[in-house]
Amino acid sequence: MALLHFGGDRGDLIGGQQVGGQELNRQVRNLGRQLRGAALTGGLITVDDEDASARLLETRGNRPTDTLCAAADERDTACEWGGVLICLHAGSEYTLSPMELGTNTDWSYRGLSAVVLENRYLRVVILPEAGAKILQITYKPLDAALLWENPRTPPARLPINSRYDDVWSGGWDELFPNDEATLIDGEAYPDHGELWTADWRAETFGSADEVGVRLRVATPISAITFEKIISLRRNSTQLEFRHELRNTGMLPFPFLWKLHPALAVSPAHRIDFPDMQVVREAAFPGTLSGAPLSFRWPHALMNGEPVDLRRIPDITARQLVFFYGTQMQAGWCALTNTATRLACGLVFDQAVFPSCWLFASYGGWRGHNVAVLEPCTGYPVDFAAMRAADRQRTLEPGGTLQTRVLFTVQEGIDSVGRIEPDGRIIGA
């Protein structure tokens, strides 16, 4: 809990009210958003907040960032949440300063332990006890929440045989060794695999230039150990992932492994892939039921007319799109908000992830608006069919698989032409 209260005749920031981390984050984000919209050129400004616990804030000589920090005063006290300093100050003069680089493990979200990585550009919230889900990636200069969160289903500790669609909270999961529930060499594997319900061990690390978390888990059925290192460098808009899978069993193990970042979308967004061949899933046609089973990205021929799949319709269209991107000319995928000119994307090794799936609901699945861009080791969703086509990956006993993935964010982009291996986004 943190002490936070906005009040007083002059709008001084004083101690008094206890609020939880989620409410604290909401209040700080609201105030930060309004401060960034003000003319921060000096002098005294007053910020109104609709929340009853945050009436007024007076601030002098501010800079437009979203981290509150009191002016130097020996009477000040401060608490911290995810790198956000909430200062309880006896006076009325405040400055704003950015969180340069840090980690925080002191907070929880709905009873789940949280790991927060943060620099001046990105804030990343990870829930190790919920499958090492990345719950949030926020681009701080625009206060842009990049990942989609299910407004009706919060993250939780879940049993291994949970039905994914009914408890999916959004964010960024990983799926292994299967998608839909299946048998692999006589063993039954749960819906969307073993990782997303697992309790991962987390260990943070940091230096003057980099912070991160090392996450580890041993799968209960397949005898595979996973290590995932997520790191963030000072002044970087890129999140780096280093993965290692190891087969600790006595037999070769065939598998599918898929990244599953759920991205928040609107009609202002567009999706970009490199040149590739789209393969439609006949058993899950969705809105593409009238399109050919295979065609070149980005146009699907529907009723004799080309439909541009890069464009995202309004949620009232109630569309649902699902396909496999194959024969990709490069290892990347991207989403751009054309209104704010903010692009984000993944860069991955095609030797590990030769395909990229897309599941996108524009109101067509339970009324949600979300696009999941899914670099994957193979396809289709049916494991037996994937294995029959020899598109599975296999780890030999004692064998390892290592790979690196970048999640990159960049302003000033209208559409993505390509993403370089170092994460630089090049506009089309």
**Cα distance between residue 77 and residue 69, in whole Å:** 10
Closest CA to 336 of 43, 45, 139: 139
Closest CA to 204 of 114, 312, 144, 289: 114
- Triad 403, 408, 411: Cα angle to 5°: 170
The whole-number pLDDT of residue 1 equals: 25
**Cα distance between residue 318 and residue 396, in whole Å:** 44
Tokens of 315: 């949620």
The whole-number pLDDT of residue 239 equals: 98
Residue-level pLDDT, tens digit, the chain, 428 residues: 222 333 333 222 223 233 344 444 455 455 544 444 433 333 232 333 333 333 223 232 232 333 333 322 322 333 333 333 333 333 333 333 456 899 999 888 999 999 999 999 999 999 999 999 999 999 999 999 999 999 999 999 999 999 999 999 999 999 999 999 999 999 999 999 999 999 999 999 999 999 999 999 999 999 999 999 999 999 999 999 999 999 999 999 999 999 999 999 999 999 999 999 999 999 999 999 999 999 999 999 998 999 999 999 999 999 999 999 999 999 999 999 999 999 999 999 999 999 999 999 999 999 999 999 999 999 999 999 999 999 999 999 999 999 999 999 999 999 999 999 999 999 99
Q: Delimit the domains of the chain by residue range.
A: 2-98, 104-427
* 173: β partners: 260
Closest CA to 115 of 217, 197, 206, 27: 206
How many CA atoms lie within 13 Å of 93's alpha carbon, on the beta-carbon side?
A: 6
Right CATH number for 104-427 from 1.10.150.120, 2.70.98.10, 3.90.700.10, 2.30.40.10?
2.70.98.10
- At 266, which amino acid appears? S
Closest CA to 66 of 9, 118, 10: 118
Q: Which residues have C-beta within 8 Å of that of residue 330, sequence separation ≥ 6?
A: 274, 350, 418, 419
How many C-beta atoms surround the C-beta of residue 355 within 10 A? 22
Question: 220, 199 in Cβ contact below 8 A?
Answer: no
Tokens of 310: 């890069």
What kind and span of H or E run contains 15? strand 13-19
Burial of 384 (0-12, 13-18, 19+ CB in 10 A): exposed
Alpha-carbon 218 to chain mean position: 23
Tokens of 96: 């704003």
The whole-number pLDDT of residue 29 equals: 53
Alpha-carbon 107 to chain mean position: 19
Tokens of 360: 């996108």
Closest CA to 330 of 380, 275, 379: 275
What kind and span of H or E run contains 28? helix 21-37
What kind and span of H or E run contains 24? helix 21-37
